[in-house]
Amino acid sequence: MTKKSQPPVLDYGKRKEATEEAMGDPRRGDLFSEMCSNWYTVLEATDTYVIVAEQVQKLEIKKYTRLDFVRFFSYGTIEGYWVDLHKRATDVSRFDDLLAVFKKYELEACHA
């Protein structure tokens, strides 16, 4: 069952706290942004990996281990992340076809 979408987190302190929580427990539909210009949407999250739709200059779908997901968005030299959680549990059904194609090609690549 999909959780109902929550409104955007506007207060900076709450947004920072919500981002930290989402990095530790990413969920389908989590929507992150970098200064409201680049968008990252979690399409699927398991105990071992996270699949993200990255809308930067073009739409790309990438798969990260849970650790690499956190590392990718971390500053690295200081605490925190270079993205902020915008919303949790947004409706990502519009990406379902792309996710299915991504998984199909990933499976084919593993058996090539």
Percentage of the chain beyond pLDDT 90 is: 46
Predicted confidence at residue 1, as pLDDT, reads 43
Question: CA torsion angle for 5, 7, 11, 17 (degrees, to 10)?
Answer: -10
Place 106 in a pLDDT band, splitting at 50, 70 and 90.
Answer: confident
Q: What are residue 44's DSSP bridge partners?
A: 51
More confident residue, 55 or 22: 22
**Token output for 87:** 């919303």
Predicted confidence at residue 81, as pLDDT, reads 94
Amino acid identity, position 47: D
